[in-house]
Every structure is written in structure tokens, then in C-alpha cells.
Amino acid sequence: MIGRVTTVNGLAVLALAAVVLATVSIPAIKPPQTGAGHHAMVAAGGRPASTTRRLSCEPLADIPGKAVSTVVVTYPPNGYTPAHRHPGTVTAFVLMGTIRSQLSGGEPVLYKPGETWFEPPGTVHVFAENPSATESAELLAVFVADENCGPLVIPEPDYH
């Protein structure tokens, strides 16, 4: 199902729950820094870009060749992520603020803290943005992809 998720496979739920519980014990998520493990998307029209910070990448022993990665995506006020896709499945969980997101074949949806969406492999994520002009927003993304822990975002610059 593309869009709001009411049920997801057990692996994604366990991975998301483990990461959320792990982040709860941390006093605050540090702001993204430049350097290894951090990546800024290229924003459109002069808008601020979202940034990513990979928290982990662990092989899945029960699924040879696959790994689960966790990433915090931070959106400054009016932050924007242009069209892209991912090499595996993604479950996104909004940590703070509001994220407006659209997947190919769907309508734009507003997600608030505690809400999730699921992206099947190869689905074009048309855009994601922080619609607030004053507040930042963050989401936690849990990826199940190839175990090489390579790039998790594939830009789609020609997608219209």
C-alpha cells in the first residue's frame, strides 16, 4: 500500500520499534553536520535542502544479502527534497514537525509526529517538504536494502 500505513510487515515494525526506542534514550538528536555519514539533497528553486544522517547499517542475518539502515532526515523551515527513489523498502516515521509528501500515483499527504508511510522498492518519491516557514521537521527512515550499505537515495531529476 502506498500512502498511510496501518499494517506493515513484522520486520519493518521490529526495526522501526528498535530504532525509536534507541533514540528515546538519547537526550536530543544532534543537528546534522558535514562530513562522513551526512548528505544534503539538492533543493529546488532556492529552497533549503533536507539533510540526512545515517545512524546505522546492520546486516540482516535471517535475510542473506540484505541490511537494515536507519537515517534521520532533517528539514529546516521550508526545507525540500526533490524527486528521488530508494534501492529498497522504506518506512518513514515523523519525529517532529509536519512533513508534506507525495509518492508517484498518490496525492500529497501531510504527516505529523507519530505518523508513518511506506515506500515499496523503486517507488518514485515525487517530493517531500516541510511546509512550515518557522519550525524544523524531522523523520526517521528505516530502509531494508542490499547489505553493502551504499547510497540510499537515487535522484530522479527528470521526473515530472
Question: 37-76 in b/e burial notation, b at 16+ Cβ within 10 A?
Answer: eebebebeeebbbbbbbbbebeeeeeeeebbbbbbbbbbb
- Percent of the chain whose predicted confidence (pLDDT) is above 70: 72
pLDDT of residue 71: 98
Q: pLDDT, tens digit, for every residue of 79-135?
A: 999 999 999 999 999 999 999 999 999 999 999 999 999 999 999 999 999 999 999
Range of the domain at 79: 41-147
Does residue 45 come out as left (phi exceeding 0), alpha (psi in the -120 to 50 range) or beta? left
Residue 58 lies in a domain: yes
pLDDT of residue 147: 86
Residue 99 lies in a domain: yes
Residue 75 lies in a domain: yes
Number of domains the chain contains: 1
- Mean of pLDDT over the chain: 80
pLDDT of residue 44: 58
Which domain CATH number covers 70? 2.60.120.10
Residue 11 lies in a domain: no
The yes-or-no verdict on residue 42 having pLDDT over 80 is: no
The yes-or-no verdict on residue 28 having pLDDT over 80 is: no
